[in-house]
Amino acid sequence: MFLMLFILLIVIVLVALPNYSNYLSNVLCKRLFKLSDGELDLRAQVKDLKCEQASISMADEFARYMKLQRKIDKCLQEIKTEGDPRQQNVAYVKLGVKIAIYVLHGITMLSLVLMYRSTPLLMLPPEWFSPFNKIVAIPTGEPGGIGIGCWIVVCNTVVYRAIRLSPLLNR
Amino acid sequence: MASAETKREERRRKILQNSEDRMRKLLGQTGKDTEKALNIPPESELSLNKSKTTITSDSEQNDINQALKSSINNTAADVLSESKKDSTIFNSPSFKDEIDKTVVKDKKTLGTGIEHPVTQKTDQLNKDDIQRMLDVMRLGLVVLLAVVVRWILSFGFGIIFLQSMFVPFIITEIVFYAFHHMNNQEIILRPKGSLLSGALVLCGIKPELIATYNQIMGYMNAIVEDFATYLFAFLICNIFMGREVK
């Protein structure tokens, strides 16, 4: 019985995990790819220039305004050049995290099925499950038993149905 | 030349008459309102409107006026007589339904013949609401059935002479989907994926066949979902009601 509930919990966690893949990849990227000093200086410079530009009236001091704008554009271009390889790595990490989640899901389910392939999770009177005894007992084959394969499929279906029906859990 | 002009005039009159007849039908006007609605000018005006027509001779003008007036009178008379004779036709539900459908269609199309996108969106929203309601109803029915069946089985009784949990489920599903198929045909149950149906379309399979396939897959998907939900609810109830055979 506890194994059934544990499997249900694992299914819920693995179904909900892809929704947090962005959060996980952001946390991972912050640890792995730190901003260089040069890029930080450039960002601070852009911030200062924008503050200065905001204090100037465009109509009154157009030349100065445009000079500052050109400086800002130049700094932003430099930031982009320096940040491109880092952005590329961040994109790879996000993709890797998503793939890893799906691989983890598959491996977990497969290992559970292999571990409990001959043990029914629950035994009930066989006549209760007729005429679908064999389907319910997959992969154990014991009449009256609930197989792990059937239970995992049932849990997946129920969880996805709950997500579809619930407006709060909609992705 | 004159005959061609009379023919042209006659054709023009018929076209106008048809549009007026349609308006009258939509508005449900009878013969008494016919003349007002048609805004028939007096005879003097008709005869004086020479600049608007290409007819030159007075006799021809008079002929046409007579023809116009007689046809209008005939139409009015026909409508009156029909309304007197067959008032049941106008009051019959099928006739009223037809008019309602025409009015609704015209409202939707706004007289342009093209369905308004806002009304299409409203229809889609209504269908989505009904679909959602159906999903929730199915879920509730299945869970309730599982609880009741588990409770009955705990006393050692059977349902329809069998101690099987799936017999009531099968019967309930048959009844539910037969009812749905008979009454809610426009609400199509969602099939799981559209990739295969897309591939079938590309292979040149007929759209009607693909629609039937989608409908069947929709039903199958719904039944499998219900089966899984029913079994889940039954086993969770079993955990609370506490019965295990060692």
Which chain A residues have a beta carbon less than 8 Å from that of B166? 129-132
Q: What is the pLDDT of residue B49?
A: 44
- Tell me the torsion sign for CA atoms A56, A60, A62, A63: negative
Contact with chain B for residue A123, Cβ under 8 A: yes
Dihedral, CA atoms, B119, B120, B124, B127, nearest 10 degrees? 70
- Measuring CA to CA, which residue among A164, A149, A160, A163 is closest to residue A4? A149
| Preceding peptide of A131 cis, ω within 30° | yes
Q: What is the DSSP secondary-structure string of B90-149?
A: HHSHHHHHHHHHHHHHHHHHTTTTS--HHHHHHHHHHHHHHHHHHHHHHHHHHHHHHHHH
- At residue B230, the pLDDT reads 93
Q: Are A155 and B135 inside 8 Å of each other by CB? A: no
Nearest to B227 by CA among B176, B178, B173, B186: B173
Q: Measured between beta carbons, which residues in chain A are less than 8 angstroms from residue B239? A: 1, 4-5
- All residues of chain A having their beta carbon less than 8 Å from the beta carbon of residue B229 are 157-158, 161
Nearest Cα of chain B lies from the Cα of A94 at a distance, in angstroms, of 26
Q: Are A124 and B244 an interchain contact pair (Cβ–Cβ within 8 Å)? A: yes
A158·B229 Cβ contact <8 A: yes
Tell me what the mean pLDDT of segment A33-45 comes to. 83
Which residues of chain A does B162 touch, with a Cβ-Cβ cutoff of 8 Å? 127, 130
CA distance A93 to A82: 18
| Structure confidence at residue A110 (pLDDT) | 92
Q: What rounded mean pLDDT belongs to chain A?
A: 86
Q: Are residues B153 and B163 in contact, defined by beta-carbon separation less than 8 angstroms?
A: yes
Furthest C-alpha separation in chain B: 111
pLDDT value, residue B210: 83
Record: contact B163-A127, CB cut-off 8 A: yes
CA distance A14 to chain B (A): 18
- Kind and range of the H or E run holding A134: helix A133-136
Q: Give percent of chain A with pLDDT exceeding 90.
A: 26
- Per-residue pLDDT tens digits for A40-50: 888 898 899 88
pLDDT at B175: 87
Residue A149: other Cβ atoms inside 10 A: 19
Burial of B182 per CB tally in 10 Å (0-12, 13-18, 19+): exposed
Separation in Å, CA of B176 to nearest CA in chain A: 19
Q: How far apart are CA B78 and CA B70, in angstroms?
A: 12
A15's tokens: 């179904």
Tens digit of each residue's pLDDT (9 = 90 or more) over A58-71: 888 888 889 989 99
In tens digits, chain B (246 residues) has pLDDT values of 668 888 888 888 888 877 778 877 777 665 444 444 444 444 444 444 444 444 444 555 555 555 555 554 554 444 444 444 444 445 555 555 555 555 544 444 444 444 455 555 666 667 777 777 888 888 888 999 999 888 888 887 777 677 788 888 888 888 888 887 777 666 556 655 567 777 777 777 777 888 888 888 888 888 899 999 999 999 888 888 765 544
Q: Report yes or no: A128 at the B interface, CB cutoff 8 Å.
A: yes
What are the chain A neighbours of B164 within 8 Å (beta carbons)? 127-131
Res B194: pLDDT? 64
Confidence at residue B185, expressed as pLDDT on a 0 to 100 scale: 62
- Per CB-CB distance under 8 Å, the chain A contacts of B245 are 123-125, 144
